[in-house]
A and B are shown apart, each in its own frame.
With several copies, the nearest count.
Chain A
Amino acid sequence: MTTSKENQTIAIGALPEANEKRFTVVAVLDQMPLVALVLLCLVTAILSDRFLSPINLTNILLQASVMAIVAMGMTYVIISGGFDLSVGSIVALSGCVSAWVMLETNVPLGIAAGIAIGGVVGYLNGYIVSRLKVNPFIATLGMMVIVRGAVLLITDGRPIVGEDGLPEIFLELGSGRFLGIHYLIWVPVILFIIFSWLLHMTAYGRRLFATGGNREAAYLAGTQVKRVVTSAYVWCGILGGVAGVMLASRLQSGQPTAGEFYELTSIAAVVLGGAALHGGVGKLYKSMIGVFIMMVLANSLNLLNVHSYWQRVAVGLVIIAAAAADQIKSRRN
């Protein structure tokens, strides 16, 4: 057999060059969500001089902190090829459980309980999706309703505050600062670093992407796909739990109605950040950009005192426009 070397180099030589040429265009297109975010900030900054004030920027970070954490978990689940409609209910459940346990015992136990219950619900989701093979939409929709019912049962429908409010230390978490920055902002920053590492730098992360990208291929390569899928839901549950506890400290109470629509908002944020709902594609920092698009938009519409009916129209339009702009990339590929 004759294998001519030059011939091969020609045949594939075409590709790297093409790659370089595409680099600049693709790089920009790939950062479309970031462009959208910057644009949004620019427009708001021009229309309102208050937008760039330190206090407003702090507000945005504070308001984004809980959603950012939820969106991290959602990113994992979406990369695994599913999604989690129950995360809003998980936020409420863990906030209430955490408030309730800390009133009965102490603050650390309360926080731990809140996060743990999120993990448990996440595990159930994962079990139903990966073992019972129920479609994620149905499984987590069912779980969303069940968990909301459970929260209402636990709390009897009323916020949990205790006789004299929640413990001071816990409330400190919701309002205190470290190095001049709110704890509530530190938490997502630290979690972002950890979960970026886990997603993008470890073997586990690769398996998650592979499982979401092609479950069959991952399975045949010896990946324990069921376990990987379950783990994604567990992370989502745990992060939902953390978000719930943080929200409770911010709201100084366990709120049974907290977290409504968090599932849709976080899915929208993650997808705006470029993750694919069929799985296998996504980046954690991009999901954060998605979160900021949603949050800055809400803040800017409030600052500009746009009527709340018009706000909805604007939010919807921006979501669709951002997603459509992001599609230009795929069409060029």
Chain B
Amino acid sequence: MAGNEALLTVRNVSKRFYGTQALDDVSFDLAAGEVHTVVGENGAGKSTLIRILGGIHEKDSGEITIEGTPSEFTNPREALNAGIVIIPQEMQLVLDATVAENVMLGEIPSKKWLGFIPVLDRRRLREQAGEVLRKVNYHGSLNISISRLTFAERQLVVIAKALLHQAKIFILDEPTASLEQREAERLFEIIHSLKTQQVGIIYVSHRLDEIVELSDKCTTLRDGKVVDVSTRGHVEKENIIRLMTGRDLAELHQPHKLEFGETLIEHDNAISLRRGEVLGLAGLLGSGTTGYLRNLLGAGENAVAMNLLGDEIQLKNPIAAIKHGIGMVPGERRHALIYDLSVRDNIVLPHLSEISNGWRLDLKRIDKLVTNLIEALDIRPRDPKKLVRLLSGGNQQKVVFARWLIGNFKVLLLDEPTHGIDVGAKARIHRLMKEFTERGGGILFASSEMNEVVNMSDNIIAMRQGEIIATMSRETGEYSEGYLREALGG
């Protein structure tokens, strides 16, 4: 089904950000009607390649041709005009604008009053926005501000926004990172229909099952270099992992565990988390899992009363939570990281009081702690003084996680802890979760990836609209992805 005519050719493209060779002599081909996937570890250069194609970054050297004509874009507008449409990795929306306005941002419709006064055509704006939003299964209001949508709902808006344009080349940079399967499958349908319209598609993801399913061709990047190009039929998960990371890697499955310790947290007789337990929270889009975790931390809309190790407490803010040994990895990295601070400062932030001598920071101790953590989590580059802003997304996520491995935390609240990180790092975070529970901690864990929830959790709570609708336990059998999906009614 893949077309033969070369829609896009990339030849020997390199890009250097001082200090980092992000792309090194990369070549890449895309034919019309073809899905060409790109995989690689965090920081391998996938997004950089895409940004160059979209006119966001300028390449240092190399050549790009589209349908045989050399093309060099200096801004996104030119790329859009040439039919290159991108769904960027870092979701970019105007929070103060409405859903419809965000979708239509690139092509704001105008009409003429009295034949000469241009005015906004609000009707067309709503209609066109509504049309593409329906395509992605968004059925919410068009006139509410984006800031009131959940992260996943926003992702749908971003996809709709891209579908608005007549694309020759459609590029998706980790579009499913926060979508659960139902929405993701809807997206694949869209991709298939674009394929039949002879659109060329570049698809980046860390979810390797998707990659295997979608790829007509798959390019693997490593440290900015192309290490492999496979075609459909030869794209295999294990192979990709080896190519990406240079080693074999087995996905972690939380082994069946029968014994848990004392109850750490109990809330409403519905949720109880024991020492050594991973409790999964599963829900479809907008089910309220994020809100619930924030409430537990004391940072949400409603403070919840809960029983912590026998004490009735109601946490008023994260400070209190941290004092009680509860930490959180928020679902969005931009809520977790201080981008202008170094890796080191980000990691030690919640522990500043414990690691200072009076007022003065014990820098030696901090450096030792942080260096160990960087080593343990394989945060790259191994430079504690590097600004977090300059790290790739996956490495940033590891920094957030590293924070809660210091000190004696009893409970971790994890919201999408593996959002956007590569298989290697993901396995590492899963292992860290396991180690945390082995040391007697408990984890409350929400993820939009159902198989991740099922694999990692000992017990699962299914939520819909902030309400618990079902529970599932590894001990009682009937414990599988299919079962969970059924329970959620998805």
Contacts and interface: CB of A to CB of B under 8 A. Distances in A.
Given A7-B490, A11-B284, A210-B105, A222 B319 contact: yes
B206 interface: no
B247 interface: yes
Given A19-B141, A209-B338, A214-B334, A220 B318 contact: yes
A11 B469 CA distance: 14
A224 B108 contact: no
Contacts of A26: 18
Given A11-B286, A203-B353, A221 B341 contact: no
Interface string A188-217: 000000000110011111110110011011
A28 interface: no
A15 B428 contact: no
Contacts of B337: 214, 217
Contacts of A15: 140-141, 144, 148, 381-383
Contacts of B361: 201-203, 206
B217 interface: no
A220 B97 contact: no
B96 A221 contact: no
B318 A222 contact: yes
Contacts of A2: 247-249, 490
A218 B92 CA distance: 8
What range describes how many residues of A lie at the interface?
A: 35 or more
Given A16-B141, A219-B318, A221-B349, A3 B186 contact: yes
A202 B338 contact: no
Interface of B: 17-20, 54, 56, 75-77, 80-81, 86, 88, 92-97, 101-102, 105-106, 108-110, 117-120, 137, 139-141, 144, 148, 161, 182, 185-186, 189, 245-250, 252, 284-287, 297, 299, 317-319, 321-322, 328, 330, 334-341, 345, 348-350, 352-353, 355-356, 359-361, 375, 378, 380-383, 390, 403, 427-428, 431, 464-465, 489-490
DSSP class of B's interface residues: helix, strand, loop or mixed?
loop
A46 interface: no
Contacts of B109: 203
A218 B352 CA distance: 12
Given A9-B139, A214-B93, 12 more contacts: A1-B185, A1-B252, A1-B428, A2-B249, A4-B489, A202-B361, A206-B120, A209-B97, A210-B341, A214-B337, A217-B330, A221-B349
A217 B94 contact: yes
Nearest to B19: A18
B489 A7 contact: yes
B471 to A, nearest CB: 19
A132 interface: no
Contact of A222 (B77, B246, B355): B77
A220 B76 contact: yes
Contacts of A197: 117, 119
Nearest to B105: A221
Residue among A4, A25, A210, A219 with most chain B CB within 10 A: A210
Q: Which 4 A-B pairs have the closest CB atoms?
A: A217-B92, A203-B352, A213-B94, A222-B322
A217 B93 CA distance: 5
A332 B161 CA distance: 30
A55 interface: no
Given A203-B359, A221-B349, A22 B19 contact: yes
A308 interface: no
A305 interface: no
B92 A1 contact: no
A217 B336 contact: yes
Interface in A77-121: none
Contacts of A220: 54, 56, 76, 86, 88, 92, 297, 299, 318, 328, 330, 335-336
Nearest to B329: A220
A240 to B, nearest CB: 23
Interface in A11-68: 11-12, 14-16, 18-19, 21-22, 25-26
Contacts of B189: 1
A3 B464 CA distance: 15
A21 B106 contact: no
A281 interface: yes
B139 A12 contact: yes
Contacts of A214: 92-95, 334-335, 337-339
Contacts of B144: 15, 19
A332 B16 CA distance: 11
B101 A206 contact: yes
Nearest to B90: A216
B415 to A, nearest CB: 11
Nearest to B320: A222
Nearest to A18: B19
A22 B118 contact: no
Contact of A8 (B80, B137, B339, B383): B137
Given A19-B144, A221-B403, A11 B381 contact: yes
B191 to A, nearest CB: 13
A214 B352 CA distance: 17
A214 B157 CA distance: 15
B19 A202 contact: no
B164 to A, nearest CB: 9
Contacts of A179: none
A313 interface: no
Given A1-B249, A210-B345, A224-B77, A12 B94 contact: no
Contact of B120 (A3, A10, A18, A202): A202
23 contacts: A1-B185, A2-B248, A3-B182, A4-B490, A7-B245, A11-B286, A11-B287, A11-B381, A11-B464, A12-B139, A12-B141, A202-B110, A203-B359, A206-B345, A210-B101, A214-B335, A217-B105, A218-B94, A219-B318, A221-B105, A221-B322, A221-B350, A221-B403
Contacts of B148: 15
Contacts of A12: 139-141, 286, 381-382
Contacts of A201: 119-120, 360-361
Contact of B338 (A21, A203, A210): A210
A126 interface: no
A261 B373 CA distance: 48
Contacts of B120: 201-203, 205-206
Contacts of B334: 214, 217
Contact of A209 (B96, B317, B336, B359): B96
A223 interface: yes
Contacts of B119: 197, 201-202
B247 A4 contact: yes
A2 B284 CA distance: 13
